[in-house]
Amino acid sequence: MNGRATTPPEQWQTERAELLERAALWQERALAAEALVTVLDVEVKRLPGLVAEINALQQQYRQQAEVMTAMKAELDALKRQVFGRKSEKMPPVEQELRRRDKTPRDRTAEQARRKENREAKAALEAERIDHQVDRHGPACPECGRDRGQFNPVGDGRQTVVFEYVPARFIRREHWQQVLACPCGEHMEVATGPVKLGDGGGNYGPGFVSHVMVSRAWDAFPFNRMERQFARLGISIARATMVDLFHRYARDLEPLVSLIFAKIAAADVVLADETPHKMQEKRETGEPGRGYMWVFIGGDLIGYRFSPSRSGQTPRDVLGGTTGTLVVDAYTGYHSVTGPEQRARAACMAHVRRKFFDALQNTGDAQRALDFILELYRIEHEAKELGVARRPEHLTMRRARSGPIMGQFHDWLVANQNAYPPKGAMGNAIAHALKNWPALNEFLKSEQVPLDNNRSERGLRIVALSRKNSLTIGHDEAGENLARVLTLCATCQAASVNPQEYLADVLLRVQLWPADRLEDLLPANWQALKNAGQLPPINA
């Protein structure tokens, strides 16, 4: 024995087995770690793509948030327009000016209207109805005299009541004298009445003009007219009125074409358009949609119907003309605006409306509204001074409106990146900057209005017709409606009674010389009528 400790074989075997087991475990862990490293390496390589995907999702979320913000602002604006209290709706410029200036309302125009109304009432046909005292009543309580001994006091006591006498139909019987020569070989028949169209029919021009004005200018549907006439005891089928309307509306085309020719020659033209549902289906089988356009040049107002909203309609009306076209931002008018064409003037009322909608989300929009209100204040002062649309008006614009537009532009540029681009405020600023050159056109001519409100007002009757009649039957019906609207609107602009005008012109236009057609335009017709220079219909 050398004294060294020895390990029993059993113990050695046990330790060896433990070491082998540990080695296997570490080897397994090493393989797992190697696999993990491989997986991590793959994930690390994917990391840039994941980061890009996350960034894209974040950008998509921001865009959707902006869209939702814009939709919410639009929904809020529609709710205010339809359901909101009067204080929540955009006030007219005149009302806003009075509120800001705290000045009493100008009563001059209102007093003039009241005076005109009093004069019109005084000129009405008077019907005197006498009410007699009952002579057999009680005697005088003071002296006991019988009422039969009472004396009249002046003309008595007057009470005025304005009554409405319902319209009525009359049957006009035209009897043409027939003379025979004693020789029995020849006869002469008196000239008969001039009738509508080719041979006419049994309805006179007064009735046809009433149907036309009621349907087009009063937006009165044919079915309601049918019930109205039935209350008068006369049954006139709806189909008969539809046929009369369209048959004789086509006869007005020469006058309508002349009006559009004069509008196209005007230096400043205003235009707008609105959709209208059609009863006739398109080739796709779906209910059709047409568009009613309005073009205004001076005191002439023309309506044009088209089956689409393309730029073909402005091109048909204003193609090849120069001057200024006052419209909204719709691209369909680009076909007639540009170099060597018409300059496009934008509408400040559209800008004001967008900032008013944004005011519900941020008070900063009030600054833009203040700039715009100052521009309208200058226009209002020009009207009060009686210099509107005169050279003095342009001088006022350049001296006062020009600097305001400069300040407004500086404010827009300074704030264009401060709001989400698709939000109400961002959209309002972007709209103003995008249309800025067109918004400044009013500084070049006193004839260019600050906004396009006049043409928008011209489409109100179309909106009312759309609400009452729902649809237009077909394209030709839309064209006929536009013809009658053109003459009725031009009549109103010239202070001419459209029903009286059409009743006369429907007969004259058939035989009127083409070189004197301008005499039948509403203003000229009224002047000739007042001067007693309109020849008799039979002449």
Spatial distance between the Cα atoms of 506 and 432, rounded to a whole number of angstroms: 47
The answer to whether residue 7 scores a pLDDT higher than 70 is no
What is the DSSP secondary-structure string of 51-65?
HHHHHHHHHHHHHHH
Query: What is the DSSP secondary structure assignment for residue 163, as one 8-state letter?
Result: -
420, 69 Cβ separation under 8 angstroms: yes
The answer to whether residue 1 scores a pLDDT higher than 50 is no
Q: What pLDDT score was predicted for residue 84?
A: 56
User: 136 lies in a domain?
Assistant: no
Domain that holds residue 386: 348-451
443, 395 Cβ separation under 8 angstroms: no
User: 235 lies in a domain?
Assistant: no
**Distance between start and end Cα atoms, the chain:** 163
Unique residue bearing structure tokens 């100052």:
374
The answer to whether residue 285 scores a pLDDT higher than 70 is no
User: 364 lies in a domain?
Assistant: yes
Unique residue bearing structure tokens 């030709």:
476
Strand partners, 324: 268, 343
Range 108-115, long-range pairs (CB < 8 A, 24+ positions)? none
The answer to whether residue 70 scores a pLDDT higher than 90 is no
Nearby residues of 515 by Cβ (< 8 Å), 6 or more positions away: none
The answer to whether residue 155 scores a pLDDT higher than 70 is yes
Question: Please, what is the average pLDDT of the chain?
Answer: 87
293, 313 Cβ separation under 8 angstroms: yes
Closest Cα partner for 324 from 298, 343, 341?
343
pLDDT band at residue 81 under the 50/70/90 scheme? low
- The amino acid at residue 65 is A
pTM over 0.75: yes
Residue 206: count other Cβ atoms within 10 Å of its Cβ.
Answer: 16
User: 219-273, pLDDT tens digit by residue?
Assistant: 999 999 999 999 988 899 999 999 999 999 999 999 999 999 999 999 999 999 9
The answer to whether residue 303 scores a pLDDT higher than 80 is yes
E strand intervals along 315-418: 323-326, 342-345
User: 365 lies in a domain?
Assistant: yes
Paired tokens of 520: 């039948």
User: 383 lies in a domain?
Assistant: yes
Number of domains in the chain: 1
Max Cα–Cα distance, the chain, nearest Å: 186
User: 429 lies in a domain?
Assistant: yes
Q: What pLDDT score was predicted for residue 104?
A: 55
Spatial distance between the Cα atoms of 200 and 124, rounded to a whole number of angstroms: 33
Question: pLDDT > 70: what percent of the chain?
Answer: 92
User: How crowded is the C-beta side of 94, counted as CA atoms within 13 Å?
Assistant: 6
User: 276 lies in a domain?
Assistant: no
User: 226 lies in a domain?
Assistant: no
Backbone angles phi, psi at 89, to 5 degrees: -95, 155
Closest Cα partner for 305 from 147, 483, 115, 532?
483
pLDDT band at residue 82 under the 50/70/90 scheme? low
Burial class (CB in 10 A: 0-12, 13-18, 19+), 247: middle
Q: Is the dihedral of CA 150, 151, 153, 157 positive or negative?
A: positive
Spatial distance between the Cα atoms of 443 and 431, rounded to a whole number of angstroms: 19
Closest Cα partner for 205 from 517, 513, 500?
500
User: 436-454, pLDDT tens digit by residue?
Assistant: 999 999 999 999 999 999 9
Q: Which helix (H) or strand (E) holds 36?
A: helix 9-82
Lowest average pLDDT, out of 84-93, 116-125, 307-316, goes to 84-93
Q: What pLDDT score was predicted for residue 30?
A: 83
Closest Cα partner for 303 from 513, 449, 507, 492?
492
Paired tokens of 130: 């006498």
